[in-house]
Amino acid sequence: MNPRMLVTARESRGLSQKELAEMAGVPSGTLSKAENGLTDLTEDRLVAIARVLDYPRHMLDWPDPIYTPQSSGFYHRKQQSLPQKALNKAHASVNLLRIRLSRLSEGVTITPRFPMPALASDDDDQTPESIAQRVRHIWALPSGPVDNMIAVLEAAGAFVVRRDLGSPRISAISLRISGDRPLFVLNEGMPPDRERFSLAHELGHLVMHEFLPPQGEREADRFASEFLMPSDDIRPHLYGLDLRLAARLKPYWKTSMASIIRKANTLEVITPTRYKSLIVQMAQRGMNKVEPVDLPREEPTVIDAIVDVHRRSHGYTEQQLAHLSGLLEDEYRVEFATPTLGGLRVVR
Ligand SMILES: [Zn+2]
């Protein structure tokens, strides 16, 4: 048993040490020592713990490293008010997801079309905007809107997944560990424009910040705004901006009305007074909570393709794939199975 894996498995289920000890019938002192690597647990107790946690027993032996938010390369887009316990649960889930994906992708070669660059934002001549431009250039993106943000990240070798991160106060978590594909985890339940902005924000961290500087969140937002709406391309669209025009621009740029209005303010195409007035108008109509104009949702494809290679070319059963990914079969099916109906993929 790997003590760090035991802690991570427990936290991923949102259980305290005391709760798990009680549910599994293990003295809490014994569990505490086991989690700190000071004592071993009998096989009976490990089986009981795995049963409570709904994981296969062997998963507690995984030797893989666990990364903390203090490690370099671990970022999240969240509200300040998120309780620590919820944050621990989300981080534990993302760690396990990273390990699962790296195990699942062993033996399957999918070569990225573009590199994932590392361009430090503390370089003298660089701004988040100029770095966003360089990434667009390296990835050969045409001018104008980014057609499909998830496809762009997957082409650069990243995994993108949508998962329940346990609290609506988290938008996304990203992880860049050397030797692994970068991982972007989107929280469920966000509108597509917010998903795209969150992904672009996380991309900003991955590209610019080996360690997060104090102004890092602001820099990631500036990067995202420029990546999705290059200033030179969008400026001519913003003259005379009102809510009606913002609603018309939204499906073209695939960004929220709010971010289009902020962009017009940043570029000084509208006056600060006009900007404030538009924000107030949005709030009066409840658009600061739910915006009008729905965008199509983007879907990841790389993980499905990897699972498909295992099933079709390597002859893996669902049971074997569940084992490989350290999940019981039911959960594996929810997380990774892609049922097909008449050749059409069913989108959950
Ligand atoms: Zn951030």
**Which pLDDT does position 180 carry in this prediction?**
84
Q: From the CA of 202, how far away is ligand 1's center (Å)? A: 6
**How does residue 211 score in pLDDT terms, banded at 50, 70 and 90?**
confident
Is there a domain that residue 328 lies in? Answer: yes
Q: What is the pLDDT of residues 68-89, one digit of tens each?
A: 777 667 777 777 778 888 888 9
Judge whether residue 342 has pLDDT over 60. no
The CA 208 to ligand 1 mean position distance, Å, reads: 11
| Ligand 1 centre distance from Cα of residue 343 (Å) | 39
What is the sign of the dihedral through the CA atoms of 191, 196, 199 and 201?
negative
CA nearest neighbour of 64 among 116, 23, 108, 8: 8
Residue 320 in any domain: the answer is yes
Task: Kindly tell me if the per-residue pLDDT of 1 is higher than 70.
Answer: yes
CATH number of residue 48's parent domain: 1.10.260.40
Residue-by-residue DSSP string for 202-246: HHHHHHH-SS--TTHHHHHHHHHHHHHS-HHHHGGG-TT--HHHH
pLDDT for the residue numbered 83: 83
- DSSP secondary structure, 118-167, as one string: ---TTSTT--HHHHHHHHHHHTTPPSS--S-HHHHHHHTT-EEEEE--S-
Residue scoring higher pLDDT (245 or 110): 245
| Mean pLDDT for all residues in the chain | 91
Cα 225 to ligand 1 centroid, rounded to whole Å: 13
The answer to whether residue 134 sits within a structural domain is: no
Domain assignment present for 51: yes
- pLDDT of 338: 64
pLDDT of the residue at 176: 87
Which residue, 23, 43, 63, sits at the end of a domain? 63
Residue 113 lies in a domain: no
Instruction: Give the rounded percent of residues in the chain with a pLDDT score beyond 70.
Output: 95
Residue 167 Cα to ligand 1 middle (Å)? 16
For residue 210, what pLDDT is reported?
Answer: 82
Answer whether residue 15 shows pLDDT above 70: yes
> Does residue 129 register a pLDDT over 90?
yes
CA distance 184 to 150: 9
- 297-321 pLDDT per residue, tens: 999 999 999 999 999 988 999 999 9
> In this structure, is residue 43 part of a structural domain?
yes
Residue at a domain's end among 35, 63, 91 = 63
Q: Is the pLDDT of residue 123 over 80?
A: no
Q: How many domains does the chain have?
A: 2
- Percent of the chain predicted with pLDDT > 90: 76
Spatial distance between the Cα atoms of 274 and 211, rounded to a whole number of angstroms: 37
* Average pLDDT for 190-209: 95
Cα 78 to middle of ligand 1, angstroms: 7
CA 98 to chain centre: 11
pLDDT of residue 275: 97
Q: Which of 39, 63, 87 is the last residue of a domain?
A: 63
Q: Which domain holds residue 324?
A: 316-345
Query: Cα(106) to centroid of ligand 1, in Å?
Result: 30
